Chain A
Amino acid sequence: MSAVVTSGVGKVFPTKDGDVVALTEVDLEVAEGEFVSLIGPSGCGKSTLLRLIADLDSASSGTLEVFGKTAHQARVDQDYGIAFQQAGLLPWRTVAGNIALPLELHGVAKAARAARVAELAALVGLTDFVDRYPDQLSGGMQQRVAIARALAEQPRLLLMDEPFGALDEMTREHLQTELARISAESGAAVVFVTHSIPEAVFLSDRVVVMSPRPGRITDIIEVTVDGARGEALRESPQYFERVTAVREALHGVPTERANER
């Protein structure tokens, strides 16, 4: 069974100046355990598509299934975990309290909760910070807490909306490597929204290229990698070749390289 299947999905936002078509005719299938990035310029509907999968908005047309259920049912059943561009931590809860939030909402017993929080804190490397409050953490650490929270209930699908978008380049690359490891370990499928080409290529099995007005899928680029995704990948010719392929798909024409000018 696929993690996500969309067919002919569209989304129209009614506004004062008439309807805005955010998405049209989106057909996409995400296999279990697969890492798929959605990339495209602003307004291409990549975040909208993610919100439709998460049932935070509902599609205007087409059908959308998450593990064979409706998006609504999948949300109620907690089949996915989610992380946003803003970490969205509750400032009055400690790191442990924030990670435990989904567990708490679903009535997991206190002892089991504490054990799971310790496990997750170790996974994202924040064991020494569980008693801190969010405003005592750096942006990168806050985002790790958000990822730990998304993983709290061992979801088979992880939805991420530009989770590293507000971070500096060094932190960003570091967290990408960690996410590659975590997603490989957990075996969860990931739908990852980004506007960074290298980020998409580094993390994904497939990169879905989208285009605005109206938002739609224009290309899907496979990224096959031998072995684990680690720092070495960032310097391999294969990686650069895929980065170029995605860039050309985004811009529609082969890009002129500086040394060919």
Chain B
Amino acid sequence: MTAALRYISPVIVGVLILALWVLVVDVLHAAPRALPSPVAVITEFWLRFGIILDDVQVTAANAVIGLLVGALAGILLAALAATARPIDGMLAPLVAALAVVPIVALTPIFNSMFGASSQFGRMAVAAIAAFVPVFVNVLRGLRQTRPVHRDLLRASGATGMQTFRVLTLPTALPYLMTGLRIASSVAVIAALVAEYFGGPADGIGTAIATYAKSGRASLAFAYVAGGIAIGLAFFLVTSLLERLVSRGRPV
């Protein structure tokens, strides 16, 4: 009963919101012109599925590449910072600066640096955005080993490499997964929003901006749905990864 309710209740909420949306737009005609009917949005999504999918692929590819590069850099630099205090000291202010810079604001600069027809600027923005949460979480994770465990491995005559494999890495793994999960949504947002600042004329963000300005609100909303699909896909993949890693692990 309660289990069924847990799945049914969000569905009910969704249906209610849709019904309210239809009521306001189609029945009462009380909405501004920029808010189309959900029926119109779904129709556009269906009719233009082909071109929406093309743009989804562009934006998703930028986000994936940015996420992978950013995460890899985050892991490597966090490992360096964890092994040597001076490196940590050098990186800390840099990461703090990256965390406060409105990263998407760098896009116009990247675009003029690498040319307006290159996706590189968007990927770079996604990479920088993904780097910060991965770095911060992994560095924290690498420092979570408990003294009793370190004593145990030392008493067992474990080598440095063995200690890393048996203790440090498994301790840090859940932190890495948390970092990746945050980074994945940040990378999608960064890649999409970066498109608002110019660059090649493709991608979800570019399309939303174009159609919203030219009054085709229902098509713009259909593209928003495409953006939601990317975000959802990223979230599901990283959540699945987190599950796989924590399998057999209590907590």
Contacts and interface: CB of A to CB of B under 8 A. Distances in A.
A86 B150 CA distance: 13
Interface stretch (B55-63, B110-118, B156-164): B156-164
Contacts of B158: 105
B170 A82 contact: no
Interface string A4-40: 0000000000000000000000000000000000000
A136 B250 contact: yes
Contact of A92 (B151, B154, B156, B248): B248
B151 A56 contact: yes
A75 B250 contact: no
Main secondary structure, interface of A, reads: loop
B250 A102 contact: no
B148 interface: yes
Interface in B214-251: 248-251
Contacts of A86: 148
B167 interface: yes
A101 B148 CA distance: 15
Interface residues of B, number: 19
A91 B249 contact: yes
B117 to A, nearest CB: 48
Contacts of B99: none
Nearest to B248: A92
B159 to A, nearest CB: 8
Given A54-B155, A56-B154, A102-B156, A92 B249 contact: yes
Interface in A115-160: 133-136
Main secondary structure, interface of B, reads: helix
A58 B21 CA distance: 73
A88 B148 contact: yes
B146 interface: yes
B152 interface: yes
B152 A75 contact: no
A105 B170 CA distance: 15
Contact of B251 (A76, A77, A104, A135): A135
B247 to A, nearest CB: 10
A135 B248 CA distance: 12
A135 B146 contact: no
A104 B158 CA distance: 10
B29 interface: no
Interface string A63-87: 0000000000001111010101010
Contact of B149 (A55, A76, A82, A88): A88
A101 to B, nearest CB: 7
B146 A88 contact: yes
Contacts of B251: 91, 135
Most chain-B CB neighbours within 10 Å: which of A82, A88, A133? A88
A261 interface: no
21 contacts: A55-B154, A55-B155, A56-B151, A56-B155, A75-B157, A76-B157, A84-B148, A86-B148, A88-B146, A90-B166, A90-B167, A91-B251, A92-B248, A94-B248, A104-B166, A105-B153, A105-B158, A105-B166, A133-B249, A134-B250, A135-B250
